[in-house]
Amino acid sequence: MIRTSRPPSVHSTTDPGDPLSLILRPPTSETERDRVLRLQREADAKRISDSIDEELKLDRERYKKSKQDVKLLLLGQAESGKSTLQKQFQLIYNPTSLEEERLSWRVVIYYNIVRPVLRILESLDLFAEADSDDDTTTEKTQGNQAPRPPPSPSPSMDQQISLLRLRLSPLTALDSQLADRLSGGVAVSGSGKGSVFVRSGWQSRTFGLSFGKARERANSGRGRFSFTEVEKDKLVDEAATIIHSCQDDIRELWQHPAVKRLRDNRKLRLDEWAEYFLNNIERVSQSNYSPTIDDILHARIQTMGVAEHIFEVPLHGRPVTWHLYDVGGARGQRHTWIPYFDDATAIIFLAPVSAFDQYLAEDPRVNRVDDSLQLFKQICSNPLLKNAHLVLFLNKADVLASKLAKGVKVNKYITSYGERPNEVESVVSYFKAHFTQVHTKNNENKRVLYTHLTSVVDTKAMQSIISNVRDSIFRDYLKSAALV
């Protein structure tokens, strides 16, 4: 053991020769008031520095502890149902938080009404023109043959639609205001159907909480806002008033024979949430409207990036922290998933089986079921994910059933489906076989694939499916814990 003397450059701060001490030393002319202010500043600086140290310490502890947590990734293309599944988890493991969010969903729901109404009006315009174009072309080729019957819609229908268009004109301005509010003015191009995306924590930003307050809530694990904060929102109140005053016109448009015709001949295809809210317009447009859980589950807003949700899930009476990562599924969002692959415990991959007649908004040449299969292949074969527990949800079974009941033919879009029966059971087993094959061909680790046929908006059915998934994840979790 050797003894060392202090190196010559190190001095105590009280050393009168130390240049730092000289700088920090209060001026000799300091008044009593200056001294009080200086001490106050020093105390503030210390408090901030201590709180940063404390935050860093907590971060380190959180990170250490989070190694034992379950990390569950919800993956799948846009509109596959990931955020809806997240809400079902929230409903089971943190119901009060969903309750607290209830009123904040009004802005999304109003947007989910206004957008399709404007789309219906656009389609009426577009196809009225297309019809008349078709007629001119036909007449030209028909030469001197007798003229065809007058094009529909009939003039009286035209007048009705024009009148509705006029009366619904306040919705045009509302549409962009709501879009702006939801996206925080950020437009995201090249990824997904609309330009409206939200990041994790959108509610606190949407309702104008100051950053400090939002952060404080996020840090305290509450990350939410209260009824009163939401109630004060002027734009949402205005939207409620406009939608309330337009409700009869919205209903009339929705039930109009011209719109029915466009829907029947599938020139107008509305998304499932649009149909849901338009079918419920009377209730949703009430001035004292408060969204039901079903409404929240049907509300649609695209996720941007990755949103983390934390739940405590009991295992043999002891809480285990689950981190649910709800990702944006549009092609332009998928690069944001990768940092979460490293330590994922489990994946739920959602593939909407109802999407066989749809194409990607990001690339209209790609059938959505085909995109799901390609994406599933990438997930199955990704070396970073090879140890993650794998669950597949063949989702939107209810939407599939209603499409098939309307007579939409699968083999028109998926030619390899051939002459198999156009029935739910047959379609589901056909798609399931394809996903299973992708898994089998990309399964070096011989991991099990757990498959469920789901409608994630169905709360009752989801309760038992989620508990089934939870048990299977915990089984693997305990096995790997035993190996450590």
Ligand X SMILES: Nc1nc2c(ncn2[C@@H]2O[C@H](COP(=O)(O)OP(=O)(O)OP(=O)(O)O)[C@@H](O)[C@H]2O)c(=O)[nH]1
Answer for which of 183, 206, 345, 395 binds ligand X (CB under 6 A) is 395
456 binding partner (options ligand X, Mg ion, none; Cβ < 5 to 8 Å by kind)? ligand X
Site for ligand X in 205-224 (CB under 6 A): none
Tell whether residue 297 is among the known ligand binding residues: yes
CB of 188 or CB of 315, closer to ligand X = 188
Q: How far is the CB of 132 from Mg ion (least distance, A)?
A: 40
Please give the angle made by the CA atoms of 464, 466 and 471, to the nearest 5 degrees: 95
Binding residue for ligand X (CB under 6 A) from 109, 297, 369, 390?
297
* Pick 121 or 456: Cβ nearer ligand X: 456
Strands 197-198 and 302-303: parallel
How many of the other CB atoms lie within 10 Å of CB of 118?
15
331 is in an annotated binding site: no
For 367, phi then psi, to 5°, come to -65, 140
Instruction: Pick the closest to residue 398 from 458, 329, 466 (CA basis).
Output: 458
Q: Indicate which single residue of 272, 295, 371, 476 sits in contact with ligand X (rule: CB under 6 A).
A: 272
Residues 303, 345, 354, 454: which binds Mg ion (CB under 5 A)? 303
* Stretch of 72-80, 100-108, 315-323, 438-446 contacting ligand X, by CB under 6 A: 72-80
Residue where the block lists tokens 């337009």: 246
| Spatial distance between the Cα atoms of 453 and 370, rounded to a whole number of angstroms | 18
Q: Which residue is nearest to ligand X (CB)?
A: 329
Residues 72-91 that bind Mg ion (CB under 5 A): 82-83
Q: Is 76 in the site for ligand X (CB under 6 A)?
A: yes
Using the rule CB under 5 A, give the single segment among 256-264, 284-292, 299-307, 392-400 that binds Mg ion. Answer: 299-307
Q: How far is the CB of 427 from Mg ion (least distance, A)?
A: 25
Residue (105 or 311) nearer to ligand X, CB: 105
Applying CB under 6 A, does 82 fall inside the site for ligand X?
yes
> 84 is in the binding site of which of Mg ion, ligand X, none (Cβ under 5 to 8 A by kind)?
ligand X
202 vs 207, beta carbon nearer ligand X: 202
Of 73 and 174, which has the nearer Cβ to Mg ion? 73
Closer residue to Mg ion (CB): 196 or 400: 196
Which member of 18, 194, 398, 461 binds ligand X (CB under 6 A)? 398
- CB 301 to Mg ion: min, Å: 7
Q: Is 301 annotated as a binding residue?
A: yes
309 known member of a binding site: no
Q: Is 338 annotated in some ligand binding site?
A: no
Question: CB neighbours of 20 closer than 8 A, spacing ≥ 6?
Answer: 13
The answer to the question of residue 330 lying near ligand X (CB under 6 A) is: yes
Beta carbons of 171 and 118 less than 8 angstroms apart: yes
Q: How far is residue 19's CA from residue 25's CA, in Å, rounded to a whole number? A: 10
| Positions that interact with ligand X (CB under 6 A) | 76, 78-84, 192, 272-273, 297-298, 300, 302-303, 328-330, 395-396, 398-399, 455-457
Cite the annotated binding site by residue number: 297-303, 395-398
Which residues does the annotation place in the binding site for GTP? 297-303, 395-398
* Residues within the interface to Mg ion (CB under 5 A): 82-83, 303
